[in-house]
Amino acid sequence: MAQFDSVLQRCSSLSHLKQVHAHLVAGGLFHLYPPLRTKLTELFAFSPFGDLPHAAAMLRLTLIPTTNDFNALLRGFSLSPDPSAALSLYPHLLSSSRPDALSLSFALKAAARLSSIATVSPLHSHLLRLGLAADVRLLTTLVDAYSKSCRPDLALQVFDEMPIRDIATWNALLTGLLPHDSLSLFRRLCRNAPSLREFPDSGTIVAALSACTQLGSLADGVSIHDFARFLHLDTDVRVQNALIDMYAKCGDIDRALAVFRSLNFKTLVSWNAAIMSFAHHGRGKDALQLFDEMLSSTPIEPDSITYLAVLCGCNHAGLVDDGLRVFNSMRVPPTLKHYGTVVDLLGRAGRLQQAYNIATTMPFSPDAIMYQTLLGSCKTYGDDNLAEQVSKKLREMGSNGCGDFVLLSNVYASKARWAEVDRVREDMRRSEVKKVPGFSFMEVDGVVHKFLNGDRNHERWREIYEKMEEIGARIKELGYIPDTRNVLHDIGEEEKENALYHHSEKLAMAFGLISMPQREPIRVYKNLRICGDCHTVAKLISKAYDRVIIVRDRARFHHFDGGDCSCRDYW
């Protein structure tokens, strides 16, 4: 059998594998030598030139399949585009053989890819019945499966009950926990590091940086960067790319670019992260320049993400002609996202009909996001006729989000068409559509503070509201006039102004003024797009109080300094 094993090692195509299979069957050896059969099944199941359906047919024709035969196919299915096939195969293993740790590992990996908690829990029970609760690698896979099945509580329970953990276990849990919990676990890992058999690795750092990115926690991100330097992991390209992304999304574009420029080896991911960093901060010309630098100075070819990043940069900076030039010169097939960005690019520039024509003639069916983007542009430019057409398209698609109604209502409100405003709001009530509440958050001394519109739950709310009164007086001296056009028309003007004064981002900025040192920028993160009035107020606060204010809304960053914004009032 050594000769067949040697032949299998030299197989380099599917036809080679099929020839070996035919010889084994013709010689009556296929059922006599299970290890050889299993190796052949493995090659069919997950080698680069394999054939997974052929491997499945081989198993069905095997008279007495072994656990290893099943494991080969389980592994192949768990890595395939249809991991559910692994979960369908597992019960057949139970009925004809005894699963081992590998069997459960492949089944759990398939369940993790499917985020199938209904499957993970029974597999967990089976793991315990088979006496495999001391297998660190298998329990790490179980932690990962619970995490990816949106049950971080069960993942943490398994983790806490493990007698021995390795760094892969910590990484699996870090990746799966919510951002706050991830950072708490990372700190716990750092405290326990001296007692671990192995130190945190690049995967640990990347998972922790991802949590900082989601939370907008710059202070924690800086600490983790320092920790990575201490472990000499800051030279790992995955860590470096995560640092670029974290710094950019936490509002520190200068640090993001410093990391990028320090790289000795830049991957496509590095270039994409840096270009997207410029884009999100409204520095479209810089994004274009970096894109041109990549094309001219490296052999790296741009991919669809590269082009999306450049187009986003042009979009946020109003570089319409540059954006169209990039789009028309793409070296990869454009996707729906690329077309959507071009529609947004044209819409923001007021070229609404051209944007609508692209949306309705492109080779893809427009999605709701594209039409909602166009509806937002109609609101910006007060085009109620096109807004009605776009709104009709959204209704035909079955879109029923609160944003659709709110945008259309705001278009009508900007034209003082109050009867239509009332009709849209009645449609919202009848459809039981609830408006997504706006909220903002910021970090002060390692503590995240969250604010809702009109919030009085913060422990320092009285000071915040007193500061808002002071802010109101100071910015009115600078010429501030509240923009009440989109506030409910059936309340008094004073009530409209009060409603505007108490938007969540304004409360967050006021809190920043009373709680942060003068030299530190006030960083605010918002779940929705910043409104026009809050944008004006932020500019005036930055001038009146000589403070740098950085606001990250749903789409981009705004840097306010000295009464100006980095977006140049184009967003």
Task: Please check whether residue 545 is in contact with residue 513, taking contact to mean a CB–CB distance below 8 angstroms.
Answer: yes
Q: What are phi and psi of 485, to 5 degrees?
A: -65, -35
The reported pLDDT for the residue numbered 489 is 45
Weakly modelled stretches of the chain, pLDDT under 70: 1-12, 17, 23, 26-33, 193-198, 400-401, 433, 484-499
Dump pLDDT digits (tens) for 392-403.
Answer: 888 787 776 677
Coil, strand, or helix at residue 178?
Answer: coil
- Using CA atoms, how far residue 174 sits from 152, 194, 237, in Å, is 10, 18, 20
Distance CA 59, CA 64 (A): 9
Distance CA 448, CA 177 (A): 17
Distance CA 167, CA 184 (A): 16
The reported pLDDT for the residue numbered 490 is 44
Predicted model pTM: 0.76
Is residue 423 exposed (0-12), middle (13-18) or buried (19+ Cβ within 10 Å)? middle
What is the number of residues in the chain? 571
Task: Please check whether residue 447 is in contact with residue 455, taking contact to mean a CB–CB distance below 8 angstroms.
Answer: no
R_g of the chain computed on alpha carbons: 29
- Using CA atoms, how far residue 157 sits from 113, 162, 193, in Å, is 21, 9, 20
Residue of 365, 366, 370, 362 lying closest to 341 (CA atoms): 370
